[in-house]
Amino acid sequence: MTNGVTFDFIHRFEPGTDERAPPLLLLHGTGGDENDLLSLGRALSPGSALLSPRGPVLENGMPRFFRRLAEGVFDEADVRRRAGDLAAFVAQARAAYGLAAPVAVGFSNGANIAAATLLLHPEVLAGAVLLRAMVPLAESPPADLAGRPVLLLSGTLDPIVPAENAERLAARLAQAGAAVTHTVNPAGHGLSQADLAASGAWLAKNFGG
């Protein structure tokens, strides 16, 4: 219970200290929680308000944002449902905390739910940093992302996300009108210093964070 509101997601919220910096919606990877990306958010955009929910799905005890059937094979009905739940949570949090539309910063499973939210609920996010994201849905309805800035960071050595899959996601987002920057770094599935530097610079350039 926060500000008289009972939220649908367990989460952490840190108020911003710079009104010019964009609120960040931090979305962890499999096995993470609401604390995982707080330090990343502070590093990428000092002064931003940070909203960090815990994924509501458990896979062998590890929190995720949606179910999967196997590695890289998503339960697409659940993806759609959970993207709707996340969109509703963001609206709830914006009203409770007085936030502008946030920029999602998602890693792995968190990046995938952020991509699904962009495609299914394009009004929810001001933009997104998608770290090691995959195509979340085989098909999705036409979305109007109207110049929404999106940074997609992939790794050349990533054993989980095929290069072709990341390229398809970039193309789908661009087709929906997003202003997509897709950068491939010499890294695996984990994050590198190059990813952090690129993300921080991109946020500062696009959102003044």
Assess whether 75 carries a catalytic annotation.
no
Sign of the torsion formed by the C-alpha atoms of 83, 88, 93 and 99 = positive
Assess whether 28 carries a catalytic annotation.
no
Pairing of strands 179-185, 149-155: parallel
Assess whether 108 carries a catalytic annotation.
yes
Select which of 48, 108, 140, 199 is catalytic: 108
φ, ψ of residue 167 in degrees (nearest 5): -65, -40
Select which of 154, 158, 195, 199 is catalytic: 158
Q: What is the H or E stretch that residue 104 is in? A: strand 103-107
Residue at token pair 């096995």: 31
Residue at token pair 């815990």: 54
Catalytic residue positions, numbered = 108, 158, 189
